Amino acid sequence: MMKSKIYKALLLCCIIISMGSCSKNYLNVSDELAGQLTLDQIFSTPANARAFHRNIFAGIGTSSAMVFQLSTTAVRGVDNPWPAFTDENRNQQGAFRVEPPAGFNASSAPFSRWDLYLYIRQANVFMANAKIIPRVGGTSSGGTVADAIEEPEYKKLMAQARFLRAYYHYLLFELYGPVPIMDKTVNPNDADLDFERNSVDEVVNFVTKEMDAVAPDLDEYISLTDINNLGLPTKGVALAVKAKILVLAASPLYNGGFAEAMALTNKSGKKLFPAKDDNKWQKAVSALQDFINFSVGKYDLYREFTAGVLDPDKSIYQLFQAMNSEVIWASGNEAYGSISSGDGMVRRATPRSQGGYGNVGPTQELVDAFFMKNGKSINDPGSGYSEVGFSTVTEVPAGRSEAGTFNMYVNREPRFYASIVYHGKRWPVTNALIKFTKGNGNDIASNYSITGYNMYKRLNRTVSQSVTTAPKTFYRPSFIFRLAEFYLLYAEALNEVNPADPKIAQYVDLVRERAGIPKWSVSNPAIIGNQALQREAIRKESRVELCFEGQRYFDVRRWMIAENASGQGAQGGPFYGMNVGAETDADFLKRTQYETRVFTRAYYLWPIPLAEIQKSTKLVQNPGW
């Protein structure tokens, strides 16, 4: 019988409880263990057991890996390729360039997460075989204390492995929908190693119950300023994962809104997607409330002050430059790279005139999504937005628009200036004026942005290629979860349960205040209490606050707005930027379609790799693939 890759790998590595004496090379499981070792040798030696455990963490993604690739590591599906596959970015390399306009199928779809089953398997093996290893012999002849894994460490290692197993199921669910649950090792002598998909409710219940079970055994809180703690899950992280999967489960894509998925069954006849249940929003509210209650005194929105006054520009920039109170979970891995070499985010996003490649281009649709500094959307009455003429004054503080800037980019909110390099923006360190017209160093002669914009968010403003004394790299961790996202999720879930709840505006306003724009009650009081208007406003806030962080791709799908009109969530059809290739400002500063993207309803869920479907007699493919 043909077997799925997930389970076939179990045979190859003899990874089962009953085969502790099977001699195999465990490099297939942990690349930190070289040589021929048995399971007994691994789990009887503290150093080997810890090395085996460490490799379970390799499935955690790198959120700064979003542009192309570093010299040695390609972007993975657990990383952050997703801004280029949604209405945020247009990248100019590889799958990032080809797939959005051309589309893909189940055999060619890039950025799979299916290999997470390898790490799930490793977690299962660890949990089945790890044990307390007593300290034997006191100290060695050299006075070194003998190594051991005593009960406190054992409990922590087991809790972390169990957390990661559930978290990887969450990541699979986020991309593919319902997937097979693998919560134990299996016997390779079984006649049938083939597995069918579990249902949406089964996967959600599994992850939430696992997070509930493991949370008490995880650290309550650890300082992420200690690099040794990066990547380690805590109780707060477990509460956050539980809340996120319950939000997914309550959202239309997984909750009765995707008609094609409602008809999907396993070959056994088992139904995979449930009927709509509005009570799931209350479950999400409760989980988010638990997390927010827990967060008090541990996490807080990051704020910087100048002369005792909140400085939104500094707050938004510095938020991403170092560990801080807003970060719930972060990885020590980073793919920002160097301005001088490699293919990390910094070099690929920096304009060519400043020593980069400049071929990461935010879409016009994203540019339009940023609010004005009065907190209104550009199309709102009284917003002050204009696409006619140029400014005559320089905005304060420095770093926003200056005299002579196209009015499209004037009087926008601080997050806009922290996120987008537009025609006429000053570059830090060199103070050079960035222009995308012909002859200005960033035109279509070679590496360039097809949209007429560059991504600016998260770049460090001290790094420079042309200034010899400036640093070429700047290390900072890759954030996985931060508090602002959960404030917005809480507001979203509350609105679905009770749109009159005052906490909806309260938590959105906390994010807006830090961003330097007025509260809803000032900028748009008419929306307060109106469920449909609040829903739209929360979605707009999330789009801006979390841009380029990997959430937008999944949000437009779980909300099922990907078929909306252009600029309102559309993932297919025409996409716009400025008129790259123009020689004059007047010709450049025109909305210009640069491509037509493919989106069908099949794209609401990622296809299970075709090779896995072909190997299995039980796996069924997602609708439309």
When pLDDT is cut at 50, 70 and 90, the band that residue 151 belongs to is very high
Tokens representing 22 are 């099977």
Give the containing element (helix H, strand E) for 264.
none
Q: Which amino acid is at 426?
A: R
Q: Say yes or no to pLDDT of 12 above 80.
A: no
| 65 CB-near residues (< 8 Å, 6+ apart) | 73, 75, 76, 79, 80, 81, 333, 335, 345, 478
Q: Say yes or no to pLDDT of 16 above 60.
A: no
CB 274 within 8 A of CB 201: yes
CA distance 428 to 425: 10
3-state helix, strand, coil split of the chain in percent (to 5) is 40, 10, 50
CA distance 345 to 339: 9
Give the containing element (helix H, strand E) for 596.
strand 592-597
- Proportion of the chain above pLDDT 90, given as a percent: 84
When pLDDT is cut at 50, 70 and 90, the band that residue 334 belongs to is very high
> Each residue of 385-402: pLDDT tens digit?
999 999 999 998 888 999
**Residue burial 216-227, b: 16+ Cβ < 10 Å; e: rest:** eebeeebebeee
Q: Is 416 within a domain?
A: yes
Q: Is 278 within a domain?
A: no
For residue 495, is it left (φ>0), alpha (ψ between -120 and 50) or beta? alpha
- Proportion of the chain above pLDDT 70, given as a percent: 92
Helix/strand/coil for 279 = helix
When pLDDT is cut at 50, 70 and 90, the band that residue 35 belongs to is low
Q: What is the mean pLDDT of the chain?
A: 91
Q: Dihedral (C-alpha) 356, 88, 372, 427: value to the nearest 10 degrees?
A: 0
> Each residue of 555-604: pLDDT tens digit?
999 999 999 999 999 999 999 999 999 999 999 999 999 999 999 999 99
Q: Is 178 within a domain?
A: no
Whole-number Cα distances in Å, 488 to 492, 538, 544: 6, 7, 11
Give the containing element (helix H, strand E) for 594.
strand 592-597
CB 326 within 8 A of CB 549: no
Identify which of 217, 210, 160 has the alpha carbon closest to the alpha carbon of residue 182: 210
Q: Is 579 within a domain?
A: yes
Containing structural domain, residue 378: 337-474+574-592
CA distance 22 to 536: 58
Identify which of 224, 132, 599, 549 has the alpha carbon closest to the alpha carbon of residue 366: 549
Identify which of 103, 93, 79, 255 has the alpha carbon closest to the alpha carbon of residue 571: 103
CA distance 562 to 560: 6
Burial (CB < 10 A; 0-12, 13-18, 19+), residue 78, is: buried
Q: How many domains does the chain have?
A: 1
Q: State the average pLDDT over residues 510-516.
A: 98
Give the containing element (helix H, strand E) for 155.
helix 151-176
- The string of DSSP letters for 325-367 reads TTEEEEES------SSSSSSHHHHHS-GGGTS---EEE-HHHH
Q: Say yes or no to pLDDT of 623 above 60.
A: yes
Helix/strand/coil for 199 = coil
Distance between first and last Cα of the chain: 24
Q: Say yes or no to pLDDT of 142 above 50.
A: yes
CA distance 234 to 328: 9
| pLDDT, position 454 | 97
| 246 CB-near residues (< 8 Å, 6+ apart) | 204, 208, 280, 283, 284, 287
Q: Is 351 within a domain?
A: yes
> Each residue of 94-127: pLDDT tens digit?
778 888 999 999 999 999 999 999 999 999 999 9
| pLDDT, position 224 | 85
> Each residue of 170-210: pLDDT tens digit?
999 999 999 999 999 877 666 677 999 999 999 999 999 99
CB 316 within 8 A of CB 414: yes
Q: Is 64 within a domain?
A: no
| Partner residues linked to 420 by β-bridges | 455
Give the containing element (helix H, strand E) for 494.
helix 483-497
Q: Is 438 within a domain?
A: yes
